[in-house]
Amino acid sequence: MIKISQKLKDELWWMIISVDYDYSRITIADHEINEGILTLWLEDKQDFKNSLEECLQLDITAKHFAKVIRNENLNSYEGTKMHPSKKFLYKARIEVNEPVRWYQEDATVIEQQWAREAVVKILLTQLVENEVAISTEW
């Protein structure tokens, strides 16, 4: 679960409403990762902005970004390992690198894009599911 402020939740809801609940219209205008923060600037594909200041700025900690990469299995692959002492083969997930290092050093441009899009998808899904859960409690 990605923790976000109430202000950002409100801004994300306005974006969702402005795209008429068509999440495929929400796109990443630009991105940046530094000092333990992934920054994504979101905009409506049908209403491109002239500057990043007009876009919705979304800051995700490296810890949450790493969790998304790991949960989506982006930095690993299904492979075969040999048990060190018993010498039998077994299937396992083989991690290429730590999640954020994988993103910065090993991932292709397309894999980096998938990781960023996964963050947006998970965040929007989490936002909608939490709102639905709260409204059904009443």
Q: Is residue 1 over pLDDT 80?
A: no
Average pLDDT estimate for 103-129 = 93
Residues 6+ apart with CB under 8 A from 8: 58
How many other β-carbons are positioned within 10 Å of the β-carbon of residue 116? 19
Q: Is residue 116 over pLDDT 90?
A: yes
Would you place residue 3 in the very low, low, confident or very high pLDDT band (cuts 50, 70, 90)?
A: confident
User: Over the chain, what is the mean pLDDT?
Assistant: 90
- Residue 32 to residue 43: CA distance in whole angstroms: 15
* Host domain of residue 122: 6-133
pTM: 0.82
pLDDT at 133: 54
- Residue 34 to residue 16: CA distance in whole angstroms: 27
Average pLDDT estimate for 116-138 = 78
In a domain, 138, yes or no: no
In a domain, 14, yes or no: yes
CB of 105 within 8 A of CB of 97?
A: yes
Q: Is residue 131 over pLDDT 60?
A: yes
In a domain, 1, yes or no: no
| Torsion sign (Cα): 117, 122, 127, 132 | positive
Q: Is residue 48 over pLDDT 60?
A: yes
In a domain, 31, yes or no: yes
Summarize pLDDT for 59-75 with one digit per residue, the tens.
999 999 999 999 999 99
- Three-state DSSP class for 83? coil
Q: Give the number of domains in the chain.
A: 1
pLDDT at 66: 95
pLDDT at 5: 85
